[in-house]
């Protein structure tokens, strides 16, 4: 899923445990794996990236997504979050951490991260390897999902 979607979901979950940053981190990580099970149209994008066919567009996609995530976090923290800033930070960290580690592995091939990369794609491909939606449908689905999450956060 979009890094933005994972970040928003992590923030929303953290709002439910405002006094417990550690729980927010753990739940944020769990939310990443669980939400990645839902097919969201990026299986072919990743396959094309791995095969070297659409490397530039994959990088552009992740760059745009990363910038959107940054803007979301800025926006969220300008709302004034009271005492739950640390928990929300940890929820967002947990939400995006798995993709961050996958990205690190893709770039640096650190052997110690191979198991994590596998674990991530075990969840990510659980359903979508056989039944993925088109990129356009996955995009539309996530925009609606994001709008729903944002309406709950704000
Ligand atoms: Zn992921």
CA of 96 to the centre of ligand 1 (A): 8
135 φ, ψ (degrees, to nearest 5): -60, -40
Q: Which of the given ranges, 42-51, 110-119, 129-138, 142-151, has the highest pLDDT on average?
A: 110-119
Q: Rounded to the nearest whole angstrom, what is the distance from the C-alpha of residue 19 to the centroid of ligand 1? A: 26
> CA dist 153 to 21, 80, 123, Å?
17, 12, 26
Per-residue pLDDT, 46: 83
What is the structure's pLDDT at 148? 93
Q: Could you tell me the distance, in angstroms and rounded to a whole number, from the CA of residue 6 to the centre of ligand 1?
A: 8
Both tokens assigned to 72? 């979301």
**Structural domains of the chain, count:** 1
pLDDT score for 85: 93
Q: What is the average pLDDT value for the chain, to the nearest integer?
A: 92
Cα of 102 vs centre of ligand 1, distance in Å, is 8
Which of 97, 113, 127 lies closest to 32 in space, CA to CA? Answer: 97
**Counting Cβ atoms within 10 Å, is residue 152 exposed (0-12), middle (13-18) or buried (19+)?**
exposed
Q: Give the separation between CA 78 and CA 73, rounded to whole angstroms.
A: 8
Q: Is the pLDDT of residue 9 over 90?
A: yes
Tokens of 23: 């729980």
Degrees, nearest 5: CA angle 6-10-14 = 175
At residue 118, does pLDDT exceed 90? Answer: yes
Using the mean position of ligand 1's atoms as its centre, give its distance from the Cα of residue 75 in Å. 23
Ligand 1 center to residue 68 CA distance, Å? 16
- pLDDT band per the 50, 70, 90 thresholds, residue 81: confident
- Which helix (H) or strand (E) segment holds residue 44: the answer is helix 43-51
d(CA 36, ligand 1 centre) in Å: 6
* Domain span holding position 45: 3-153
How many other C-beta atoms can be found within 10 angstroms of the C-beta atom of residue 145? Answer: 18
pLDDT band of residue 49 (cuts 50, 70, 90) is confident
Give distance in angstroms: CA of 125 to centre of ligand 1: 10
Arithmetic mean of pLDDT, 26-45: 92
Measured in Å, residue 148 CA sits from the centre of ligand 1 at 20
With a pLDDT cut of 90, the percent of the chain lying above it is 69
pLDDT range class, residue 92, cuts 50, 70, 90: very high
Which tokens sit at 43?
Answer: 């299986």
Range in 8-12, 93-97, 107-111, 136-140 the model is least confident about: 136-140
Q: What average pLDDT does range 31-37 have in this prediction?
A: 96
How many angstroms is it from 113 CA to the middle of ligand 1?
14
């Amino acid at each position: 899923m979009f890094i933005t979607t994972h970040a928003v979901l992590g923030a929303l979950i953290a709002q439910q445990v405002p006094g417990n940053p550690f729980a927010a981190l753990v739940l944020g990580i769990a939310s990443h794996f669980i939400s990645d099970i839902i097919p969201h149209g990026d299986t072919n994008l990743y396959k094309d990236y791995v095969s070297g066919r659409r490397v530039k567009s994959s990088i552009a996609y992740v760059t745009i997504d990363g910038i959107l995530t940054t803007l979301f976090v800025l926006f969220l923290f300008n709302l004034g979050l009271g005492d739950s800033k640390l928990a929300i930070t940890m929820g967002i960290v947990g939400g995006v951490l798995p993709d961050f580690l996958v990205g690190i592995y893709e770039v640096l091939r650190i052997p110690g991260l191979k198991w994590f990369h596998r674990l991530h794609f075990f969840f990510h491909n659980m359903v979508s390897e056989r039944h993925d939606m088109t990129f356009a449908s996955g995009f539309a689905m996530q925009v609606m999902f994001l709008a729903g999450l944002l309406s709950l956060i704000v």
